[in-house]
Structure 1
Amino acid sequence: MRAWTVRGGWDGHREETALETGAAIAGWAEVRHDFSEQSTFDDLCALLDECYPAESPRTRKNWAHQIWRFLHEISVGDYVVMPRKYRDVVAIGQVTGDYEYQADQPPGYRHIRPVKWLRTVERAAISGDLRDSMGTLLTVSELSRRDAAERVKMLAENGTDPGYSGAIAAPDDIDALIADVDAAGSRQLSVRDLLGLWGFGRRTSEALEEVGSTLQRHGLTVRPDFTTVQLDSIVTVVASDPEDTEATSPASGSEAVEATPQDLTWRVGNVRQQMDVVSVKRSDSLHRAIELMVTKRLSQLPIVDDHHRLLGVITWESIAHRSITGAGVELWDARAAQFPPAAHSEQELFSRMEDIRKFGFVIVVDSENVVTGIVTAADLADELEARVTPFMVLEELERRLRHAIYGMSPDLLKSVGKKKAEKPEDLTLGNYSYLFENPAVWKWLGWPFEQAGIVERLRAVARYRNEIAHWNIDAPENEPQKLADARELLDLLKLVTPVTR
């Protein structure tokens, strides 16, 4: 059993006909021939060359692969999902027959697979990773990863997605990523693994420029935008399909604002936050909420519906207010009368800082209002510590190095190669490795360390300083080994420079 997405046109124009007639409809209005008459893939390519001479060879080859799947790879018994374009729902059905060419239908409605439509589910009922996989712009694509077929089956049977929490193996390289997307229409991986394909560990301006331009050049995009989420968040790389101008039309359910490749704005989704959110339902008791808040040490709890969509918030303040006023005893009666509007991961963080200051938190939701995280004042404090600590360590390193060479003669200072190096303040952190290479300088210092080891440590720390000198989306703490190396050098310097100026 396999699962497939067969979309109903870039503007949803085939959706109602598909549901009314019990069919998955492939489109390709210019092909007014029975596809099954093409016995080989090359024959199919030749037919598309004839019908779409103005399109690029790459586009026609892409379409041929999609049509081949529709004809030969989709089997009777497989599941089909059709995201509705202008509705927050997805139709799910099961294939009941082979490909048919219906010559009496209008162009664009002739290529069909019989389908028994089983259920329509709200998009919010589908976990974000599977929902993003359905957001590919290809007309026909397979849902193959993270137990997708079994999850679609469960959605068809009872309207619930059991989800999937296992790790995702990254492609071997950039070419493998492109090949995976070409074959299936989408490929999921973590942001960290995506950057790693280009050799980057953080989202620097250079990383965003190179990754973004390469993806764009190959007609690929990332949902949600990889600049707006955590490094270890799962994103979906999807391909566009130029048929019926779908290449320029957003995928249904993927309306989040995408940052430009050069965008280094600090966004709500970039802050390390509570992602596995504890919540209560409206039907839960107030005692249940209090128990969770005490045992989990929480100051607030989202109140959600059966699909985890945000309905309200309960806080210690709102519970106290209920007790004082003698309001009802139900959990809903104790909800906060005021709480900050929900945030989206792509929003600029500073636009929500006042809410976090005033209320102590903002709840993060996705495009379906499903709760995905909470950013608290404590989370911001942790983020600030992660960003400031490397600079504090480097600042102390530089002060101790400067203290170590006070009293050194100008002649020795000039051995660093800087003509104007007449006092310690003239040196930058990057200069010290060159200065300490000088045997006379090392003798003057009289340190009980190996000269070559200290010089190499200084060079590594100088490189680290250069890497974090400019603002980047991710905190320097995301490269903990380099910070640890800087701390080790600082510990050594503390032994020989006990006092700093």
Structure 2
Amino acid sequence: MTDSTTSPAEAQSRARFLLDGRRVTIADLLGSGLLQEEERLRFVRPRVGESHEAAVTSRGWIRLSDGEEFRSPSKAAMVAVGNGTFDGWEAWQVEDGRYLTQLRQELLDRAAEEADPTAPEKEQPQTSLSPRDRHARLKEARESAEAGRPLSLSVLELLAWWGVTGRGVVNDQIQADLANHSLITSPEFDKVSLTATVQLVKAAEEQAEDMPLAGLPVTAAALAGVSEELGSRETGLTVGTLPSALAGIVSVKPTATFEEAITLMVLHDFSQLPVLAGPHNLRGSVSWKSIARARHADPGAHLSQAIVDARDVRYDHDLIDVLPTLAENDFVLIRDQHNAIAGIVTAADVAQAYGQLAGHFLLIGEMDRRLRQVIAGAFTLPEVTSLCDPACERISSFGDMTVGDYQRVLENPGLWEQLGWPLDRKVFIARLEEIRRIRNNVMHFNSSDPLPKSDVDKIRHLNKLLREYGE
């Protein structure tokens, strides 16, 4: 809601500021009047019979009783206790008993009331939910998680709330919006495949409560390792992003027979088979080679004599670190967020993933080369630099141009007319802008996901146009 001194435009701006993928801070609560300077905070831990006191500073930080100040409620809680990891928004209470998370929710609810439900998000596709609708969806998910009925959906369905089909620069916004509702995904949405199912669960209020941090005092170095609401996470290509990583596993028990193992391997065209004594208990694997060796050494051998070591990693392990293991063993078994064996990744899976990425680079490389040829063939370098680099600090040849430079040249009405193409300039530039964003995501490794077919087709069709008109 707005007060008498707040204009509708100011209210819209404030609402967008709070709902547009930005983590709410204590300073926001202070600025909105939901917290007051020097207001007292308490962190009560009834299970261990202790409580901690703090106060809100004028700059929106939390000052502990010993004078230390922290912008992050979670870091303040961790330092106050001395060990463990906490969601500070669920830990600190004001004097009337409300938690910081409740005040944050009130602030977001106000922003949602002020938000224009029809206003498109800046640089977001029209298919995304409005900030107000997304806030309502996340609020419902939080209530379901608190009731023990977490919402399950695919990563693709989750991304659709933000109007995207792949992960990348939008990850930070998603993580911030989830954090503002004390939600996380299990498993982490940016470390599994697009088709994997995740649950929106409530962020743990208190973890490893009585476990010291490797016996170390809580120092700045210790704090640096805490995943916090203040920064973004750098996410590369993880094992879990490969479709087979969490797709399920076919296995045998240690007591199985050779016939059972061989039948499964033939039916599924497998070269190896995990041996599990339970979902979490990996005993190793059997392969055609290990079976042949065991039977050659002892014609009366049991399957247990053919079991060899098998490597396993968590789904969130960086893929690049697993490559040496795959080169040596051809496969690695994958543990999910519950530490159960949930899938297998082979060298062939990795080759396919990197092959797709290489294909994207080739398409983008052709586009870049053909655009440069078109501009170099139609215009002089001074015409280009006058638009893209008036100070002549960056472009000394056509080879120094970026896709943004190509766009600036071709969107110029005079130069477009000089090009002589019987095409609509505005439509062409709109498509080039779409492809520029796609290209930046790929070339800057902002996303570990394969490009959607629609994006690949956009680049292919532009290349076809450039081949036809650029010759």
Normalised by the length of structure 1, the TM-score is 0.56
What SS does the corresponding residue of 1:277 show, helix, strand or coil? Answer: coil
Give the counterpart letter for 2:98 in structure 1: P
- 1:270 Cα deviation from its structure 2 partner: 2.4
Q: Within the alignment, does 1:236 sit opposite 2:277 as a pair?
A: no
- Structure 1's 259 and 350: CA in aligned 2 closer, same or farther, altered over 3 A? farther
Any stretches of 5+ residues in structure 1 without a counterpart?
Answer: 1-8, 13-51, 62-169, 242-246, 252-256
Residue matched to 2:187: 224
Deviations 1:5-54 (A, max 9, x none): xxxx9989xxxxxxxxxxxxxxxxxxxxxxxxxxxxxxxxxxxxxxx995
How far apart in 1 are the matches of 2:355 and 2:272?
23
Letter in 1 for 2:406: Y
Give the CA deviation at 1:470.
2.4
2:319 counterpart residue number: 349
Residue in 2 that maps onto 1:301: 273
Asked if 1:56 corresponds to 2:97, the answer is yes
Deviations 1:159-195 (A, max 9, x none): xxxxxxxxxxx99722222232344463333333334
Measured after TM superposition, the shift of residue 359 of structure 1 is 0.3
Identify the residue that residue 463 of structure 1 maps to in structure 2. Answer: 437
Residue 444 of structure 1 deviates from its aligned partner by 5.1
Alignment counterpart, residue 406 of structure 1, candidates 372, 376, 384: 376
Q: State whether structure 2 residue 355 is matched by structure 1 residue 397.
A: no
Q: Judging changes above 3 Å, is the alpha-carbon distance between structure 1 residues 360 and 190 closer, same or farther for their aligned structure 2 residues?
A: same
Greater Cα offset, 392-401 or 304-313: 304-313
- Hey, what does 2:448 align to over in structure 1? 474
CA separation in 1, counterparts of 2:203 and 2:444? 34
Decide whether aligned partners of structure 1 residues 352 and 259 sit closer, same or farther in structure 2, where only a CA change above 3 A counts: farther
Residue correspondence of structure 1 range 383-462 to structure 2 within 5 A? 383-410=353-380, 412-414=383-385, 416-419=387-390, 420=392, 423-438=397-412, 441-442=415-416, 445-447=419-421, 449-462=423-436
- Deviation string for 1:75-119 (max 9, x for gaps)? xxxxxxxxxxxxxxxxxxxxxxxxxxxxxxxxxxxxxxxxxxxxx
User: Which residue is equivalent to 1:215?
Assistant: 178
1:177 to 135, 141, 164: 141
Deviation at 1:298, TM superposition (A): 1.8
Deviation at residue 358 of structure 1 after TM alignment: 0.5
Corresponding residue number in structure 1 for 2:74? none
Structure 2 match to 1:361? 331
The residue correspondences of 1:310-325 to structure 2 (distance < 5 A) are 310-325=282-297
| 1:406–1:59 Cα change, 3 Å | closer
Give how far 1:443 is off: 5.4
Q: For residue 236 of structure 1, give the secondary structure of its aligned residue in structure 2.
A: strand
Residues in 2 aligned to 1:412 and 1:429: alpha-carbon distance in whole angstroms: 16
Which string of whole-angstrom CA distances, capped at 9 and with x for unpartnered residues, describes residues 231-289 of structure 1?
33223333368xxxxx22359xxxxx996652324332223325132222334332332
Structure having the higher Rg: 1
Are the structure 2 counterparts of residues 240 and 462 from structure 1 closer, same or farther at C-alpha, using a change threshold of 3 Å?
A: closer
Distance 1:443 1:208, change over 3 A: closer
Distance 1:314-1:497 versus aligned 2 partners, 3 A rule: farther
**Number of residues paired by the alignment?**
332
CA distance in 2, matches of 1:348, 1:10: 39
**What CA distance in whole angstroms lies between the structure 1 residues aligned with 2:199 and 2:331?**
28
Secondary structure, aligned partner of 1:177: helix
Structure 2 residue 468 is matched with structure 1 residue 495: yes
Structure 1 residues 479 and 173: CA distance shift in structure 2, 3 A: farther
Contact map agreement 2:138 2:181 (CA 8 A) in 1: no
Whole-angstrom distance in 1 between the partners of 2:408 and 2:268: 53
SS in 2 for 1:227: helix
Q: 3-state DSSP class of the match of 1:483? A: helix
Tell me which residue corresponds to 1:270. 241
Residues 375 and 406 of structure 2 are in contact (CA less than 8 Å); yes or no, is this contact kept in structure 1?
no
Equivalent residue number for residue 165 of structure 1: none
Aligned-partner Cα distance in 2 for 1:458–1:228: 30
Change (3 A) 1:215 1:438: closer
Q: CA RMSD in A?
A: 3.9
The 3 A distance-change label for structure 1 pair 332 and 496 is farther
SS of 2:256's equivalent in the other structure is coil
SS in 1 for 2:151: strand
Instruction: State the secondary structure of the residue aligned to 2:455.
Output: helix
Q: CA deviation at 1:393?
A: 1.0
Q: Which residue matches 2:155?
A: 191
| Contact 1:310–1:369 (CA under 8 A) maintained in structure 2 | no
Structure 1 residues 214 and 493: CA distance shift in structure 2, 3 A: closer
- Call closer, same or farther: CA 1:209–1:440 in 2, change over 3 Å: closer
Residue in structure 1 matched with residue 350 of structure 2 by the alignment: 380
Letter in 2 for 1:301: L
Structure 2-normalised TM-score? 0.59
Letter in 2 for 1:397: M
SS in 2 for 1:343: strand
Secondary structure at the residue paired with 1:278? coil
Identical columns (%): 27
Offset from partner CA, 1:388-440 (integer Å, 9 cap, x none): 32222111111112222334342553574543467432432123233234566
1:285 aligns with 2:257: yes
Q: Is the 8 A contact 2:94 2:100 kept in 1?
A: no
